[in-house]
Amino acid sequence: MTAQLNGRAVVRVENLHKSFGDLEVLRGIDMEVDEGQVIVIFGRSGSGKSTLLRCVNFLEDPTSGTIEVSGIRLEGGHRTHHKREQIRRLRTRCGMVFQQFNLFPHMTALQNVREGPVTVKGLEARAARAMEPDVMLFDEPTSALDPELIGEVLAVMTSLATEMHMTMMVVTHEMGFAREVADRLAFFHEGAILEEGTPAQIFEETRYSETKRFLDAVL
């Protein structure tokens, strides 16, 4: 199902705006992710990284702008009945890994994985088989994990990218992962993409002082 998408953008974001009340979180984002590409999105808390990701599969409704995933093209703004159905279709093309892990504090991580909600077992596996997402959205997947697990999760993500050639949008501060795996990096600053480029461009030829300062703090 990915063959006919070859060389084309799987995700296309055009002039995306998102406001929460008076607070403008995204101020016109344009972004394209081609098939098999891995894009790492980084930036300070509140810069709009997570919001962008959540707008891509409409967990947040964009205030205005356009989202396109695997040819399903949707405008921001109010939800109509037809649009709701389209959103559902779009979501089946996206896999998502969340920021908050909801781990049971009294169990080890292993138990947490094994003893997931019994009731949804069969369903999820069925849904998974039907799904095979065209793009995976990672919303700070490692931010709530201990160092050992961070390594394991990053290893899985790396193999997803390099072996399975999964198209991925990753919000993370794991700059080692970004340097090795990402095709492109986007630095978010105050709701806009301040700087975008290959890892070499971002790390070696940093153009903006904000990016530099942030990288210095993280690295």
66, 64, 88, 129: CA torsion to nearest 10: 50
Enumerate residues 90-119 that contact other proteins by CB under 8 A: 90-92, 94-98, 100-103, 106-119
Which helix (H) or strand (E) is 211 found in, with range?
Answer: helix 209-218
Token pair of 24 as six digits = 């403008």
H helices of 133-208, where? 147-162, 175-181, 199-204
Provide DSSP, 104-131: -TTS-HHHHHHTS-GGGHHHHHHHHHHH
- What's the gap between Cα 89 and its chain centre? 18
Instruction: Name 159's bridge partners.
Output: none
Distance CA 80, CA 82 (A): 5
Q: Could you say which of 73, 75, 164, 198 contacts other proteins (CB under 8 A)?
A: 164
Q: Could you say which of 59, 192, 194, 215 contacts other proteins (CB under 8 A)?
A: 59
Other Cβ atoms within 10 Å of 209 Cβ, number: 8
Q: How far is the CB of 33 from other proteins (least distance, A)?
A: 16
86 binds other proteins (CB under 8 A): no
- Closest CB to other proteins among 33 and 136? 136
- What's the gap between Cα 78 and its chain centre? 23
Stretch that binds other proteins, among 20-28, 43-51, 148-156, 194-202 (CB under 8 A): 148-156
Q: How far is the CB of 3 from other proteins (least distance, A)?
A: 17
203 binds other proteins (CB under 8 A): no
- Closest CB to other proteins among 87 and 194? 87
175 binds other proteins (CB under 8 A): no
57 binds other proteins (CB under 8 A): yes
131 binds other proteins (CB under 8 A): yes
Binding site for other proteins (CB under 8 A): 57, 59, 88-92, 94-98, 100-103, 106-129, 131-133, 136, 141-142, 145, 149, 152-153, 155-157, 159-160, 163-164
